Amino acid sequence: MLVTQELTVKVDNKIIFDNVNLDFGPGIHILMGPNGVGKSTFGHALMGNPNYNVEGAVELNGKDLLAMETHERANAGLFLGFQTPTPIEGLSNMQFVKQFMGTRQDVGISEIQKLLMEYKSHAEDFKLPAGFERKQLNVEASGGEKKKSEIIQMLISNPTVAILDEPDSGLDIDAINELTLKLKGFMQSDPNKVLIIITHYEKLIEKLSPDTVTILRKDGATTYEDITVAYDILENGFAEYE
């Protein structure tokens, strides 16, 4: 569960959004909003990006999220899939997986072999190039490959709360179908998981059948259980909901 109370995020004393009160329980949730309202900022701020000044309170599964360092937030079960994943030269996709899994447990040879087999299986499902696990993280990778790589990271790390920023970006229809299957499987593995997806892609919303749609504004946010709100926005814009 992820709960925000009077969440305010600033950059250089400029308010990005103010007084956001949200309660994301188990299930799939869509986060929408006009360009520049702070949807990506929402994820970055919760993950602990030092560029943001965060005020208010945030609870992750009953714990004070804002009191934690970034790696502690990840270890506590929070995952963020970025809108634009950062390339890191000299670090392979598989090395990255081993490193973040190693912060949670002692990863021996047998565990590494299992991680490698799991990674290769997901990569094959996503039709990524052979040997993708050896490629440098997000280096010389297409937008779609970066998104697929992040989904694999999420599946392997198995967080309790995941925030995905436009996971459909750069994916063709076959990859969208596979993405949908992966996300549904992820959610079905534990009824208490929370998946928050920032998207304006109608097909993905239709396929996932989310539990709620949240509209983020500069001065707050509103959550709707009627997901037809998303379709209304996609057809008519945000004017009625601002």
pLDDT of residue 113: 85
Q: What dihedral do alpha carbons 139, 157, 24, 175 form, nearest 10°?
A: 50
Q: From CA 141, how far away is CA 132, in angstroms rounded?
A: 10
Q: Is the pLDDT of residue 98 over 90?
A: no
pLDDT of residue 114: 87
Q: If pLDDT is split at 50, 70 and 90, which confidence band does 101 have?
A: confident
Domains of the chain: 2-86+158-241 (3.40.50.300)
Prediction pTM value: 0.94
High-pLDDT (> 70) share of the chain, %: 97
pLDDT of residue 107: 61
Q: What is the pLDDT of residues 124-134, one digit of tens each?
A: 999 999 999 99
Q: Is the pLDDT of residue 115 over 90?
A: no
- CB half-sphere exposure, 81, CA atoms < 13 A: 30
